[in-house]
Amino acid sequence: MSGLPIQYDEGFIEGPGGSRLHAYWRQGRSDAPLLWNVHGFQGDGMGNKAIALLESAARNNLSFISVDFRGHGQSSPTHANGRLLGLCHESLLSDMWAIRTFIATWHQGPRVLVGASMGGYASSWFAAEHSEAVQGLVLVAPAFRFGSTMLGRIHGLTVESWKQQGSAEYQGMTGPELLGWPLYEQSVGRSEESVVSWLKPEMPIRIYHAIDDDVIPYTTSVAFTARSGDQTELVLSRRGGHRLQESAGRIAQSALELALGLM
């Protein structure tokens, strides 16, 4: 972020159980919309999509926040025995509630969550379980089945072996990481079909997904959209892969337009 000619704050906020969450935020008009970036698995709070959102927020005097989940970036680990060992549905949503509590001290307007991959999973379930706290969603290659998808990403891993051992070793971007059994256990029954049944049908939702995504099949976003209300729009790209990095500006513009429509 050094060199970005936009003023913003950076520091730690209180997380669950005395943990610390590393955050970036910008305070705009307190009653205007807030753009809330929610990063993906093994990402952090200030990737290219977050920067594009921050720039959009600054240009329009809107608020912005982006926070490293526990086990990611500079935030506290999820477990004493491993940064990601405690990662699960409950940990993600409790982190998001802690962020919401922090936001409430300085912002009273509507909130648009922009979640990528795991962040799309967390954003959609947070909106489903706390509908009063979310007024719009922008989902980027959302991992609606996060947790269970790890079975296909760890060679030889089965449900039985994961449960018996209590953890599974994942070869991450910075080396091996232990993933705890609750990550899978709490994912059971959670999918694109189940979350859409919890969401308010009038919730405005924009989804971006690439057909060549080799991590999360674009068909899950198609299935979600088919079951959603009339306010859901799906944009498919022929190329872009899982990260859709070249689409950061377009995604930020979509989030901005959705947010301005809530004013």
- State whether residue 134 is helix, strand or coil: coil
71 contact partners, CB below 8 Å, separation of at least 6: 77, 78, 83, 84, 86, 87
- If residue 208 lies in a helix (H) or strand (E), which one and from where to where? strand 205-210
Per-residue tens of pLDDT for the chain, all 263 residues: 444 578 999 999 999 999 999 999 999 999 999 999 999 999 999 999 999 999 999 999 999 999 999 999 999 999 999 999 999 999 999 999 999 999 999 999 999 999 999 999 999 999 999 999 999 999 999 999 999 999 888 989 999 999 999 999 999 888 899 999 999 999 999 999 999 999 999 999 999 999 999 999 999 999 999 999 999 999 999 999 999 999 999 999 999 999 999 98
Q: CB-hemisphere CA count at 13 Å for 36? A: 28
Domains recognised in the chain with CATH numbers? 9-144+191-260 (3.40.50.1820)
pLDDT (tens digit, 9 = 90+) per residue, 179-224? 999 999 999 999 999 999 999 999 999 999 999 999 999 999 999 9
Residues facing residue 112 across a β-bridge: 35, 136
> 98 φ, ψ to 5°?
-65, -40
pTM of the model: 0.96
What whole-number distance in Å separates Cα of residue 63 and Cα of residue 31?
Answer: 9
Alpha carbon 181 to its chain's center: 21
